Structure 1
Amino acid sequence: MIRSTLLLCLVAAVAADTGLDAIQPMSTSTFQCLANNGYSFFVARVWESVGNYDNTGIQNIKNARAAGWKYVDGYIFPCLRSTCASPEAQVQATVNKLKASGAQYGMLWLDIEILAWPADINHNRDFITRLGNELNALGVNWGIYTNNHNWGNIVGIDWNQWHTRPLWWANYNGHQDYTGFVPFGGWTKPNIHQYAGDYKGPCGVDLDLNWYP
């Protein structure tokens, strides 16, 4: 019985994956080093909240691919100032830049966290709806990065417009599982858990730690 339980634990450990998101420049050899240290997926910032491409992140996607990584995504940190481009234009610019740069990604994630969102929940809902609709129109596979606190403050905890999209759940509880998840926004469970941030990782990389089963 003990041996069977141990085997199940080992199988669960093998089936799960540890990944990272980071914004610093990383070379192909750095990604090879990270792979040797057990990391298997990477999410790069590809659009910044200041309203422009993240060229470092786009190059990181290319370098990760060159290092043989199969699972590489990007995330859009929307620009919210009145001088920023429309939600649709931000999505279009990101997708077009990735294509023109030859940066092959699996998914794009919308980074929905408290930063400069206005107090008007209806405005915020409309902004995120327009981001999502444009991603759908462009045929992009996409999801949402957020947590209960961010979602509740920005759009209201029960707003479930995009509950069918994958959820990248940010909760720095240190668990490589979904411990502590409380359903919100129509999501009943996450797809990825960002379980630690600002981690001094191997290979000289400062990163956030992520897990999916």
Structure 2
Amino acid sequence: MKNSGINVRKVWLQVTGPINWSNNVATNINFISGFIARAKTYGITVGIYTSWYDWQQITGATTQFSNSDGLWYWSAFGQGPDAEGVASFDDFRPFGGWTAPSVKQFALNEALCGLTLNRDIYPLSGKEEASVVFELKDKLTEKINVGGFV
């Protein structure tokens, strides 16, 4: 991306779907560690996107990444508007060494004006309020190969 003039400052590593990860916790931790280390060599910070359950299943609840650049957790009851979680951080409980989240995804795969999107909430800097944002999802998933990691 840098060779194409795209300045990436931060990426979020998705650590979800335990069935898609190794059953070996050490292998998963090594992958995450390697991903973060490789990103840092390019000056890119890495946040973690996960949930309490996914993190426990995939990493054995390790706390070694709690100093990563943010936690984006998801908490929804399924897909669509009838399965939304709460649009607040009231349900957050510390896990993996994180004591506060940066972002929360509370709705998955909702349709709006012909688009499929997720709904997220994040705290406004220095305020108790929160803002709801929409995250557009492409129908195609693109994989970006970052130094050997896909």
Give the TM-score normalised by structure 1: 0.50
Once the two structures are TM-superposed, the CA of residue 161 in structure 1 deviates from its matched residue by 1.2
Structure 2 partner of 1:63:
none
Once the two structures are TM-superposed, the CA of residue 182 in structure 1 deviates from its matched residue by 1.4
Q: 1:205 aligns with which of 111, 115, 125?
A: 115
Structure 1 partner of 2:142:
none
Contact 1:175-1:195 within 8 A present in 2 as well: yes
Deviant stretches of 4+, over 6 Å? none
Q: 1:146 aligns with which of 35, 42, 50?
A: 50
Contact 1:129-1:161 within 8 A present in 2 as well: no
Question: What residue ranges of structure 1 are gaps of 5+ in the alignment?
Answer: 1-97
Give deviations 1:66-104, integer Å, cap 9, x for gaps.
xxxxxxxxxxxxxxxxxxxxxxxxxxxxxxxx2234444
Instruction: Measure the CA separation in 1 of the matches of 2:100 and 2:11.
Output: 19
AA aligned opposite 1:100 = N
Gap change, CA 1:105 and 1:201, over 3 Å in 2: farther
Instruction: Measure the CA separation in 2 of the matches of 1:132 and 1:160.
Output: 15
Contact 2:9-2:43 within 8 A present in 1 as well: no
Contact 2:107-2:120 within 8 A present in 1 as well: yes
Once the two structures are TM-superposed, the CA of residue 105 in structure 1 deviates from its matched residue by 4.0
**Higher Cα Rg, which structure:** 1
Instruction: Measure the CA separation in 2 of the matches of 1:171 and 1:161.
Output: 22
Instruction: Measure the CA separation in 1 of the matches of 2:93 and 2:55.
Output: 12
Q: Identity across aligned pairs (percent)?
A: 31
AA aligned opposite 1:153 = Q
Higher RCO structure (Cα 8 Å, ≥6 apart):
1
**As a proportion of its length, which structure holds more helix?**
1
AA aligned opposite 1:211 = I
Structure 1 partner of 2:16:
113
Instruction: Measure the CA separation in 1 of the matches of 2:8 and 2:112.
Output: 23
Q: 2:63 aligns with which of 160, 172, 175?
A: 160
Q: How many residues align?
A: 114
Structure 1 partner of 2:139:
none
Once the two structures are TM-superposed, the CA of residue 195 in structure 1 deviates from its matched residue by 0.7
Structure 1 partner of 2:85:
174
Contact 1:196-1:210 within 8 A present in 2 as well: yes
Question: What residue ranges of structure 2 are gaps of 5+ in the alignment?
Answer: 77-83, 124-150
Structure 2 partner of 1:126:
30
Give the TM-score normalised by structure 2: 0.70
Gap change, CA 1:135 and 1:106, over 3 Å in 2: closer
Q: Secondary structure at the match of 2:21?
A: coil
AA aligned opposite 1:108 = V
Q: Secondary structure at the match of 2:87?
A: coil
